[in-house]
Amino acid sequence: MTVIPTPIVDEQGHRETVAVDKRSKSRNKDGTERKKPHVIITIIMGIIALAWLFPLLGLLITSLRPRSDVEATGWWTAILSPFQQAWTFEPFSQAWTALDAGTTFWNSVAVTVPATVLPVMFAAMAAYAFTFFEFRGKEVYFAIVLGLMVVPVQIAVIPVLQLFVWFGNTTGIEIIGQYPAAWIVHATFALPLAIYILRNYMQTLPNSLIEAARVDGASHFQIFWRLIVPMSVPALASFAIFQFLWVWNDFFVAYLFIQSGPNQVLTQGLYTLLGQYGQGWQRVAAGSFITLVVPLVIFFALQRFFVRGLTAGSVK
């Protein structure tokens, strides 16, 4: 242990020297030991961040260049000679008009918000049952839920389409091409992961509160809405972020179940910006940045819940 002499003045005014642990200066205000920054880890994470941002930088530069320059040279040449480029915001104006952003934006909102709320709501109820209820076959049912997590939506596309067509022919209510088609598909395939995350989080909640509420005569409905939901906000918010980003950026489900027309979303509009012969890359780049605004706002507004919710229940 390394010590250093430190002068101390007593009550009579005499000076004396005592040994003070040098490590005490490397402590936080709460008394915990201050950890030294890991330089290597910081460098590695910085390199990973730059690698992720590199394509985004290329997208931004492409969206600010005229079509002639985009077709003539690569976007990286603009970095080498930035003052010799003809920068323009015309691709953003063209993309906004071609996307019909005033309509497709609200269509995306109409698809994304219910497709996020529905799986969160039903998964929270199912996770509460798997955590605090005792019934026969509970572990088997939960194992089935875990197995459904590995089933991709692409495998079930044809059976789901056939089911929607049969339902429309039987009842006369057309689902394909309407918002509920996307709601059902997105919510259904998001439920297994949502149940898994929320159950792991609810298992970390103090069981004594639940027992106290039951002693006081609270029903399961009251316990769920007044205790479990408020305490599960980090997990609910983390999955809501994940689901929102997935649905907002989705093209596959929207292309098959909403199709083109008055209900098409932003991602479908981005595909049309490319043009028949792929000559609209600068407009696609600008349109991509337009669609990025909402996911970025949602993520940065709720990011403090993201890691807390996803890692909850990993260590008990």
Residue 71: the pLDDT is: 76
Q: Where do runs of H (alpha helix) occur along the chain?
A: 39-63, 67-72, 76-80, 90-99, 101-132, 138-148, 157-171, 179-202, 207-215, 220-223, 229-231, 233-248, 252-253, 266-273, 281-311
Residue 120: the pLDDT is: 93
Residue 24: the pLDDT is: 47
Whole-prediction pTM: 0.76
| Residue 268 buriedness (CB in 10 A; 0-12 / 13-18 / 19+) | buried
Residue 72: the pLDDT is: 79
Residue 36: the pLDDT is: 61
Distance (Å, whole) CA 304 – CA 300: 8
- Tens of pLDDT along the chain (316 residues) come to 454 454 444 445 444 444 444 444 456 555 566 666 678 888 898 899 888 888 888 888 888 888 778 777 778 888 888 788 788 888 888 888 888 888 888 999 999 999 999 999 999 999 999 988 888 888 899 999 888 888 888 888 889 989 998 998 898 888 888 899 999 999 999 999 999 989 988 888 888 888 888 888 888 888 888 889 888 888 888 888 889 989 998 889 988 898 777 888 888 888 777 765 556 677 888 888 888 888 888 877 777 766 665 555 444 4
- 119-to-61, 116, 192, 210 alpha-carbon distances in Å: 38, 6, 9, 24
Please say whether the dihedral angle defined by the alpha carbons of residues 140, 142, 144 and 146, taken in this order, is positive or negative: negative
